[in-house]
Amino acid sequence: MNQKGVGEASTRELTESRFPCAQCGGMLQYKIGTSTLQCKYCGHSNEIVNPVEPILEYDIHYALRELERAPKNAPGTTVIHCNTCAAEFSMDAYIHAGECPYCGTHVVTDTVHQRSIKPKALLPFSVTPEQARESYKKWLGSLWFAPNELKKFAREDRSLNGVYIPYWTYDSATVTHYQGQRGDTYYVRVRYSTIENGRRVTRTRMEPRIRWTPVRGRTRRHFDDVLVGASKSLPRRIMDWLQPWDLDALVPYTEEYLAGFSSEIYQVELDEGFERAKVLMDKTIRADVARDIGGDHQRISQLQTQHSDTTFKHVLLPLWTAAFTFRNKTYRYVVNGRTGKTRGERPYSRIKIALAVIAALVVLAGILAYAGSTGAFSSGSFDVPPVRQLPGGYRF
């Protein structure tokens, strides 16, 4: 397996890439939904040439060993000298693509200066800012129990920031040994007393019981592209809400796709991300074990999972991000740069929630009153068991 570039340490100076227009000197930007850079002033475009090498998976154990030996590069503020206007400006520790605040020159810095693992693939933006705003408006307008004043935000055009967020993907072959119990439901006839028409009578009914049997076994599962966000700028729940991603459309990492956008360097380390991936895998493994146990009920008392052939990729995925302030509190939201799916933080109207609870209680009280007047809840009315076919042909 090709390990080149996985754990190499940074011994080079910071490199910067700029994308000036050869025709008018303006700045080229990635044209969303295409494979070209385009000048917004004269319309001149350059084709983005994707690298010919395939997108590789890298062995995680090899990478972790290399990272242990590599010098630790503490992330700090990066000072950039703009060759276009001669200004000097800084970029935050975990941002490696942005623009000069004075002349708008787009700059992409070399991530190896701050992180040993460079991105190997990305998904280019395919949702335009206009489409992202429409998705945001629909999402905001669909929120239940939102304050009425919030509707005005759906009518306003908000400033959006395009940013590439770092992710890890993990592949792993797993073998899980388990112990537990299988529960099979059976029915027994039970005698009980009840009051009918003012008299106590004896009736019978069939009640379920569970027969538990000890079990043990083994399951196998190969996981492909388990996705873990490697940014701490957004809450994990927001990043997880944006799935699924069309990872089959990944292209080899090329700096030109970042022109006109911001991009973050990973803040979640490789091993930390894998621990999160194992938690996600464990949910699927438990479902596999429950199916393997069978029966009507399952109890899992012990799981031992072994991982092998574990590989990873470092990729960048596109988001539109923005925020709005409502009643002195800031709420962030994001739009998937591939699908337009929108999720984020939102306020709730306490008055609407209280009115909904009151309305539900009124409806419930009405149902109970009606049932009481018709005798639907009279003693013994639900004691007639359904007809079931039991093993051996017995019906009840």
User: For residue 268, how far is the Cα from the chain centroid?
Assistant: 15
pLDDT at 186: 96
pLDDT at 336: 93
Report helix angle 270-293 to 60-69, nearest 10: 160
Taking residue 54's Cβ as centre, other Cβ atoms within 10 Å add up to 9
Domain boundaries, the chain: 16-174+218-348, 182-214
Token pair 């996985």 is at which residue? 6
Is the full-model pTM beyond 0.85?
no
Strands (E), 197-269: 199-229, 251-252, 262-264
pLDDT at 155: 57
pLDDT at 323: 75
pLDDT at 96: 54
Per-residue pLDDT of the chain (396 residues; tens, 9 = 90+): 444 444 332 222 333 456 777 788 777 888 898 888 888 888 888 888 888 888 999 999 999 998 888 766 555 445 555 555 444 444 555 455 555 543 445 565 554 445 578 899 999 999 999 898 888 778 776 666 655 666 666 556 567 888 888 999 999 999 999 999 999 999 999 999 988 888 999 999 999 999 999 999 999 999 999 999 998 877 888 888 888 899 999 999 988 898 888 888 888 999 999 999 999 999 999 999 999 999 999 999 999 999 999 999 999 999 998 776 767 777 777 899 999 998 877 666 566 677 677 878 888 877 877 666 655 444 444 443 444 443 443 333
Phi, psi of 360, rounded to the nearest 5 degrees: -65, -40
Q: What are the CA-CA distances from residue 120 to residues 1, 92, 111, 140, 313 (Å)?
A: 15, 22, 11, 35, 7
pLDDT at 332: 77
Q: How far apart are CA 115 and CA 113, in angstroms?
A: 6
Q: Nearest 5°: CA angle at 99, between 97 and 103?
A: 165
At residue 396, the 3 state secondary structure works out as coil
pLDDT at 347: 60
Phi, psi of 308, rounded to the nearest 5 degrees: -145, 160
